[in-house]
A and B are shown apart, each in its own frame.
Chain A
Amino acid sequence: MNRLILRTLLSHWRSRPFQIVTLLLGLTVATALWSGVQAINAEARASYAQAAATLGTDRFDSLQPRGAETFDQEAYIALRRAGWDVSPVVEGSLRLGGERYRVLGIDPVTAPASLPARPDLQGADLTDFLGPTGLILISASTTLPPDVDLPPVRVVEGIAPGTLVMDIGLAQTLLTMPGQLSRLILLPGVQGAPPIAEASGVVFDRIAPRGDGGGIAALTDSFHLNLTAFGFLAFAVGLFIVYSSIGLAFEQRKPMLRTLRALGVPLRRLMLVMVAELTALALLAGIAGVALGYLIAASLLPDVAATLEGLYGAQVSGSLSLRPAWWATGLLIAMGGAALAAGDTLWRTARMPLLSAAMPEAWHGAQARAQFWQGIAALGCFALALVLCFTASSLTAGFALMGALLIGAALALPVVLATILRIGAARARGPLSQWGWADARQQMSRLSLALMALLLALSANIGVGTMVMSFRDTFTGWLDQRLVAEVYVTASDAEQGRAIHAWATDRVDAVLPIWSAEARLGAVPISIYGVAQHPTYSEHWPLIEALPGAWQSVASGEGALINEQMAARRDLSPGDALILPTPDGTDWPLTITAIYSDYGNPVDQVMVDVGLLATRYPDIERLRFALRTADAPQVIEEARARFGLSSEQVVDQAAIKALSLAIFERTFTVTGALNILTLAVAALALLTAMLTLQLMRLPSLAPLWAMGLTRAALARAELVKVLALALLTAILSIPIGLGVAWVLTNVINVMAFGWRLPMNLYPMDWLRLIGLALLTATVAAGLPVLRLARTAPRTLLGVFASER
């Protein structure tokens, strides 16, 4: 019997192939966008975890020298001989054939056995690894330029992409740091050994392991949350399509269902078979969706990887691996989505009276009831948004605020539209326009889901667009302010740094050292930058908030400037005291005198006097200088010739700006792509809703036709109505979009990056978007309207005779 019922149900699709295509397409697209985004996130997170595992920072404490990049390996020997179970690590980057690679030097005999790159102590690898020529271990996804002079390379599993693992001795040679180490891996279980500082004579910061991929994972969390939010939005929009196709199928299969029930099929069994049918369809769409999601992810991943590297220095594999867990969740989300979209239909099937009602559907009452509850829910969402607006203190809460705002707006949309349409109908003069308004209102019950999808897509579009463009404008202006020096030089080593400093002092108007130290305040890394006393800073540097005489206090050694993200994260303001750590373990007390904007930097930053920095942190690298000169091309030419500097080491202002902007643009490529995809899905939702609607529209239209309207006129009226609804939706999406933009710039950005952005308005973009919405509506309504204009009179006449 089940088989017979199923065959009967399925026969419906055979006669309406287009309908099943839409249903599957909707679910596929929704699943694809969701799982595509998840795939990207999973890949990135796996890369972080792998990087941390390669470095050993996922499970073990690390010891990093305070205020220095490196330390003498004698300190390592001293710690071992004092009984500390530590293993040395040399890290650095190497440029080979234009690509940057991370070099990781380890000592395989002391490294923890769980370090993925450590060669097996019993394996023949160890002989090669430690042998005179050495051995470089890389992951399968890392490619090296063909003609570089390197020791033999072997591909092993478990190494992060772009990382070259080698013996510590070889790494010291390649990175030109003989006898120096970068950090130590500290293994647990040491008892009774003397304190580390005492035993080694070096002040180390002890950094606890981060199982989830470490600092990079924390830094990039916001980026991934962003992607997730977009994936979810796209998924939700996709579900609207599924909802309308399932709803349509139900409407059309109603007589069939009635007949089946009348023939004695128990309701329970009918429901069971419908659920089975739905499950099968969801599974099918899920598989296709996951596959499509894989393609989407694969095509977006290179951009994501570039973004993450540009923004956070995080290495992410540019190629996608298939994870079974991801397939499974993709299928589950497809099924869940289908269940969500079909819930209403199944409910209506369960409650469907056995005999058809002679009356047409009581739409007025139903609409009023639905709108009442939607209105209540919308108010609830808005209330929640309002509360979150004032209380949101985490990124998740920020996204919840945005979610509440968007969902509230979507729920309120039908209520608002109905009100506008009622007012319109009341003011309408002619019978046709009166009918148009009234009919649009009735039609909206069915279209509202698609319109909600459109509203969501448009609002997100406006919101994200406003945020990105505000950011770009702010960023460009800020770069102009901040990059004032004409030439930026990086020396190859300390000696060359001194030589360049001496030469430039005579050659240019001003030499401004850019020296910095990495330190930790609390457990969080900070950068301490030294600045010279010069109008370049005091006159141009973009300050957000400052005490009077901020720059003088820096020059006098009492004051420090901090970046906005540091102020936000640590709740600091001008006038607060700041105590910086120093390599010798003493405190360095300062007063915060100003806060400056520092877009695009994920790390907390402090600016102090450069002389003082060099005194407190004697081991900092003194390699970078900004030069002020009216004669930049000549100075660049001379610097290159005199010191043999590469084009990367001597850069003019324009090149730095271009680079910064390029990184910026890449950062939002993915956002832009997802934005467009979401809008496309919304268009698809509108199309399917229109097609669904068309079949239900004939009873409303046939009397008009009988009373003397041509089919063409009816089609035109239909088009105008849909366009009007789309236009209203688009107009309503502007304030919602601006709300979203405000949340993004003033809540989410602050939580995620620590900087607040001024929000600019871009009305031309709104017009463009309204145009886009109308185009979307035209495309979506086009086919159904054309079909209406060509409906045979007999079909229309059928309305008056047929049962509905």
Chain B
Amino acid sequence: MLTVTDLHKSFETAGQPLPVLRGVDLAVTRGECVALTGESGSGKSTLLHLIAALDTFDAGSIRLDGQELAGLNDRARADLRRNRVGVIFQQFNLIPSLSVGDNLAFQARLAGRFDAAWQARLTERLGLGPLTDRWPEQLSGGQQQRVAVGRAIAARPALVLADEPTGNLDEATGGAVMDLLLDLVAETQATLLMVTHSAALAARLNRRVHLSLGQVSAL
């Protein structure tokens, strides 16, 4: 479902290219939940961003459901993000000017796949029912991340990408959010790729891929 082959990416830093990914190979099958771990600076977040078509890479290939990401223009990458991917970041996922309810439904409506019944069920599952009229700024961190999870799932994307979604939460809250995420991924039969540096979290997923110095390595 997702195939990454010999992926290279460097950033310009002080005029010098700083290689972050140095030939990453990765394959994920449909429905699989994969944890992406590694040291700080190992390139795991960058890899996630490239798969989400948020940024472009220098060399190699990313194929998503058979579509090659290399060479896609801005618009095609935006389409891909909108229609096929759901992204959850560590924080600041929400649009401050929209209410919780509107935030939840936003991506589904953007992608043209808004389903009122599913949306209602989702809201219920996330325990956000009483909060839909609130503003993001009025929510706790855990509540905000639940909205972010719900928003990513609402459009039923094939691939859910999460970048330390519970990194900013305490263990109990993070655990609850994680439970919801895994449940919903399973329910929608989505594929999950999640960056984390928590071994405990990684253990809850099907498989763990470790990145070191920009390459996949054995643990």
Direct contact of A and B (CB under 8 A): yes
Contact B102 A708 (CB under 8 A): no
Tell me which of A307-315, A321-329, A358-366, A535-543 binds B. Answer: A358-366
> Given known contacts A442-B96, A700-B96, what 20 new A-B pairs fall within 8 Å (CB)?
A358-B141, A360-B96, A362-B138, A363-B137, A430-B109, A431-B102, A431-B110, A432-B110, A435-B95, A438-B97, A438-B102, A439-B95, A699-B96, A707-B87, A708-B80, A708-B81, A709-B110, A793-B54, A793-B55, A800-B93
A residues lining the B interface (CB < 8 Å): 358-364, 430-432, 434-435, 438-439, 441-443, 699-700, 702-713, 793-794, 796-797, 799-801, 804
Contact A703 B137 (CB under 8 A): no
Q: A95 to B78, alpha carbons, bound, how many Å?
A: 79
Among A362, A710, A794, point to the contact of B75 (Cβ < 8 A). A710
* A residues in contact with B75, CB < 8 Å: 710, 712
Contact A703 B92 (CB under 8 A): yes
B residues lining the A interface (CB < 8 Å): 11, 49, 52, 54-56, 74-75, 77-83, 85, 87, 89-98, 102, 105-107, 109-111, 135-138, 141, 151, 163, 168
A-B contact pairs, 5 of them (CB 8 A): A358-B141, A362-B138, A431-B102, A700-B97, A708-B83
Measured between C-beta atoms, what is the minimum distance from A443 to chain B in Å? 8
* B residues in contact with A793, CB < 8 Å: 49, 54-56
- Counting from the closest, the 10 A-B pairs by CB-CB distance are A708-B82, A431-B109, A708-B81, A800-B89, A442-B97, A438-B97, A710-B78, A439-B97, A793-B55, A362-B137
Among B56, B111, B163, point to the contact of A800 (Cβ < 8 A). B163
* B residues in contact with A800, CB < 8 Å: 89-93, 163
Q: A431 to B135, alpha carbons, bound, how many Å?
A: 16
* A residues in contact with B109, CB < 8 Å: 430-431
With contacts A711-B74, A794-B55 known, is A706 near B95, CB below 8 A?
Answer: no
Measured between C-beta atoms, what is the minimum distance from B73 to chain A in Å? 9
Measured between C-beta atoms, what is the minimum distance from A164 to chain B in Å? 72
Interface centre among A434, A441, A796 (most CB of B within 10 A): A434
With contacts A431-B110, A708-B82, A708-B83 known, is A703 near B94, CB below 8 A?
Answer: yes
With contacts A431-B105, A710-B75 known, is A704 near B95, CB below 8 A?
Answer: yes
Interface centre among A432, A434, A706, A712 (most CB of B within 10 A): A706
Contact B96 A707 (CB under 8 A): no
Contact A797 B49 (CB under 8 A): yes
* A residues in contact with B93, CB < 8 Å: 703, 800
* A residues in contact with B141, CB < 8 Å: 358
Interface centre among A362, A364, A703 (most CB of B within 10 A): A703
**Closest chain A residue, CB of each to CB of B99:** A438
Among B105, B111, B168, point to the contact of A708 (Cβ < 8 A). B111
Measured between C-beta atoms, what is the minimum distance from A243 to chain B in Å? 23
Measured between C-beta atoms, what is the minimum distance from B124 to chain A in Å? 21
**Closest chain A residue, CB of each to CB of B78:** A710
Measured between C-beta atoms, what is the minimum distance from B64 to chain A in Å? 14
Q: A364 to B95, alpha carbons, bound, how many Å?
A: 13
**Closest chain B residue, CB of each to CB of A441:** B97
* A residues in contact with B89, CB < 8 Å: 706, 800-801
**Closest chain B residue, CB of each to CB of A366:** B137
Q: A708 to B113, alpha carbons, bound, how many Å?
A: 14
Contact B96 A434 (CB under 8 A): no
With contacts A431-B106, A794-B55 known, is A708 near B92, CB below 8 A?
Answer: no
Measured between C-beta atoms, what is the minimum distance from B174 to chain A in Å? 15
Q: A706 to B88, alpha carbons, bound, how many Å?
A: 9
Q: A700 to B106, alpha carbons, bound, how many Å?
A: 14
* A residues in contact with B168, CB < 8 Å: 358
Q: A796 to B95, alpha carbons, bound, how many Å?
A: 14
Contact A801 B98 (CB under 8 A): no
* A residues in contact with B87, CB < 8 Å: 706-707
Contact A703 B95 (CB under 8 A): yes
* B residues in contact with A435, CB < 8 Å: 95, 97-98, 102, 106
* B residues in contact with A794, CB < 8 Å: 11, 55
With contacts A793-B54, A800-B92 known, is A710 near B74, CB below 8 A?
Answer: yes
Contact A707 B107 (CB under 8 A): yes
Q: A712 to B75, alpha carbons, bound, how many Å?
A: 9
Contact A360 B92 (CB under 8 A): yes
With contacts A363-B137, A364-B135, A794-B55 known, is A434 near B102, CB below 8 A?
Answer: yes
* A residues in contact with B78, CB < 8 Å: 705, 708-710, 713
Q: A31 to B7, alpha carbons, bound, how many Å?
A: 58
* B residues in contact with A703, CB < 8 Å: 92-95
**Closest chain A residue, CB of each to CB of B55:** A793
* A residues in contact with B90, CB < 8 Å: 800-801
Q: A358 to B143, alpha carbons, bound, how many Å?
A: 14
Measured between C-beta atoms, what is the minimum distance from B153 to chain A in Å? 13
Q: A796 to B77, alpha carbons, bound, how many Å?
A: 15
Q: A710 to B168, alpha carbons, bound, how many Å?
A: 28
* B residues in contact with A430, CB < 8 Å: 109
* B residues in contact with A438, CB < 8 Å: 97-98, 102
Contact B79 A361 (CB under 8 A): no
Contact B96 A706 (CB under 8 A): no
